[in-house]
Structure 1
Amino acid sequence: MRWSVVGLLATVLLGAGIAFMTHMPGRSHSGALPPLAPEAILLRTRLQGHVKVLAGDIGERHLWRHDALESAARYIEASWTGMGHVVASQRYVAYGKPVRNLEVALPGSVQPPEIVLVGAHYDTVAGSPGANDNASGVAALIELARLLAGSRARRSIRFVAFVNEEPPLFYSPDMGSRVYARRAAERGERIVAMLSLETLGYYSSASGSQRYPNSLYRLFYPDRGDFLAFVGNLDSRPLVRTVIEAFRRHTAFPSEGVAAPGWWGGVHWSDHWSFWREGYPALMVTDTALYRYRYYHTAGDTPDQLDYESLVRVTAGLARVVAELAQ
């Protein structure tokens, strides 16, 4: 009798814990997607163009192809300056080579010390042109700076392109976001929300197209890889819930969220991890990468593999989320 009570209690506690991590406000969109408006079609052209340059013309870009890495940095910089933004470079040396993070800052009108930061890494793993990982995230980052350029937000907004996210720099002191987050903490900067854009360009409505790090996820999430995921740790749960609620309210596109222990498989695999290390609330926005995309970290990760219509919807939806966070 005693063990049955213990078992029941354990089951209740497990269920409560899982609900705490997986239950999100609002409802994921289901059914047909609305047609793209004319401005969305123009956005699709621009996003596709950025991916083509980064993953097609430049291709594999990392410390051991330093010229290509710097070509990508110059392209992002030129894209932003062409919109009228002032671009700052955070320069440092990694493995004896000069590298840089790139930043566009939009000062807040009422609460400028509070910062909403959106970031994406522009380097690739060796051997891959990195169309989805992470030219898709960088393309969205570039265009978010265009979409929000005229906003008069209460809080400050920053767009940051990070270098050196991929192995062997991941988790190292030379990881671009690690350098940036450490400096922000040293300066006492008040980053109230950080969104890491990581592999945003692949979606599939086929049954069985979505996999997960462990079987527990399959009990609560779809088996179709047609959704955008918002992923954070337990400390960032309020941010995850705020962001996904805003996305669902503004955007007709499937979405799922989780706020789980940071050590769970996949939860910490991007630049948001660097901000957790400094105590900032941060999350990853992703198509789930290797759990859906067969070309992850391979030579096959080319621009023709991506779903640009979905990338448009995701980018436009994120613009509305960031604008709301900044207000």
Structure 2
Amino acid sequence: MLGGIRALAGIGPRDAASPASDRAAAYVAGQLRAAGYRVTLQPVAVPAGVSWGVRVPAGTTVDVVADPPGFDPTQPHVVVGAHLDTVPQSPGAEDNASGLMVMAEVARMTLQQPGALPVRFVAFGAEEARGGNGTLYAFGSRHFVAGLGASERRAVRGMVALDRVGVRAAAVPVCHVGGADTSLADAIRRAAVPVAATRACVNRASDHVWFERVGIPAVRLGSVPYAAYHSATDVPTVVDRRQLARSGAVLWAWIRSLR
């Protein structure tokens, strides 16, 4: 996983409307195709705005959607995602090459050892905020959810967003959006008991939010503050190998527990 993190961070900052984001999408798409998935690129329009204090242009990004062989989106399945883009001043090793590479590794494992429910993997474009005092964000996941038909929405049993999953910590954060229904977060934490410590948290700032807003249970893995956040120092040495492994183990344990 660290090799992929170094490759993505080596591209440099990856604002959603930039050619660098396109290169990141191509890299992740290549990883998922090589694993055996059918990969499609869904264009997503993004507005001009201000990202972490820097003006950014309007443009087009993509969602990289990876489906296992024979996948039917109207049949029960789960979605695992991670965002492709960074703020303009950061190479984004932790935020969010870490999430992308844990996703790619678990995607490979899932095809090698299929479980009871298929898993659809998505690298979302344009998660980082582009204005609105931080409220105009997650354009790729919003577009993806809006494009699901009624039967496809009903088929999604849960969604997990991987975002900053390699920050050194004593436990893996399993965050829901708040409110009464914590069933998915609770199920993930139960499945993880044999493999890693977890902690419950509330987070409304990643790609899981748009799934929850249409009634699909959704959580975020990862949400630990770190000094290099949204800065030029978010380089591969920031990422903790053990926390990457723990985050992947939690995700894998949940996937294997699905019935």
Q: TM-score range by the shorter chain?
A: 0.7 to 0.9
What is aligned with 1:63? 16
Change over 3 Å in CA distance of 1:192–1:60 after alignment to 2: same
What is aligned with 1:211? none
Tell me how far apart the structure 1 counterparts of residues 79 and 135 of structure 2 sit (CA, whole Å).
Answer: 20
Counting helix residues as a fraction of each chain, which structure ranks higher? 1
| 8 Å CA contact retained: 1:110, 1:154 | no
Alignment gaps of 5+ in structure 2: 48-57
1:167 aligns with 2:167: no
| 8 Å CA contact retained: 2:65, 2:123 | yes
| 8 Å CA contact retained: 1:121, 1:161 | yes
Tell me how far apart the structure 2 counterparts of residues 148 and 138 of structure 1 sit (CA, whole Å).
Answer: 15
Q: Secondary structure at the match of 1:159?
A: strand
1:305 aligns with 2:259: no
1:106-125 alignment runs, 5 A limit: 106=68, 113-125=75-87
What is aligned with 2:2? 48
Tell me how far apart the structure 1 counterparts of residues 59 and 4 of structure 2 sit (CA, whole Å).
Answer: 25
Which structure has the larger Rg over C-alpha atoms?
1
Change over 3 Å in CA distance of 1:230–1:173 after alignment to 2: closer
Deviations 1:92-112 (A, max 9, x none): 332452321011123689997
One of 145, 164, 167 as aligned partner of 1:181: 145
| 8 Å CA contact retained: 2:38, 2:69 | no
One of 62, 70, 88 as aligned partner of 2:40: 88
One of 237, 249, 254 as aligned partner of 1:316: 249
The CA deviation at 1:226 is 1.7
The CA deviation at 1:186 is 4.9
The CA deviation at 1:185 is 4.9
Structure 1 residue ranges, 4+ long, deviating more than 3 angstroms after superposition: 107-112, 169-174, 185-188
What is aligned with 1:289? 224
One of 153, 173, 181 as aligned partner of 1:229: 173
Tell me how far apart the structure 2 counterparts of residues 297 and 63 of structure 1 sit (CA, whole Å).
Answer: 14
Q: Give the number of aligned pairs.
A: 245
Deviations 1:44-99 (A, max 9, x none): xxx100110111x20200135x1100000000011111222211111233245232
1:194 aligns with 2:159: yes
| 8 Å CA contact retained: 2:91, 2:232 | yes
Q: TM-score, normalised by structure 1?
A: 0.69
Q: Secondary structure at the match of 2:79?
A: strand
Tell me how far apart the structure 1 counterparts of residues 6 and 167 of structure 2 sit (CA, whole Å).
Answer: 15
Tell me how far apart the structure 1 counterparts of residues 174 and 137 of structure 2 sit (CA, whole Å).
Answer: 26
Q: Secondary structure at the match of 1:289?
A: coil
Alignment gaps of 5+ in structure 1: 1-46, 204-224, 261-266
The CA deviation at 1:183 is 1.3
* Aligned residues: CA RMSD: 2.3
* Amino acid in the other structure paired with 2:15: H
The CA deviation at 1:136 is 0.4
Tell me how far apart the structure 2 counterparts of residues 108 and 248 of structure 1 sit (CA, whole Å).
Answer: 32
* Amino acid in the other structure paired with 1:240: A
| 8 Å CA contact retained: 2:44, 2:140 | no
| 8 Å CA contact retained: 1:111, 1:154 | no
Tell me how far apart the structure 2 counterparts of residues 116 and 271 of structure 1 sit (CA, whole Å).
Answer: 14
1:244 aligns with 2:189: yes
Tell me how far apart the structure 1 counterparts of residues 158 and 216 of structure 2 sit (CA, whole Å).
Answer: 7
| 8 Å CA contact retained: 1:108, 1:152 | no
* Amino acid in the other structure paired with 2:117: R
Tell me how far apart the structure 1 counterparts of residues 137 and 150 of structure 2 sit (CA, whole Å).
Answer: 15
Identity of aligned pairs, percent?
29
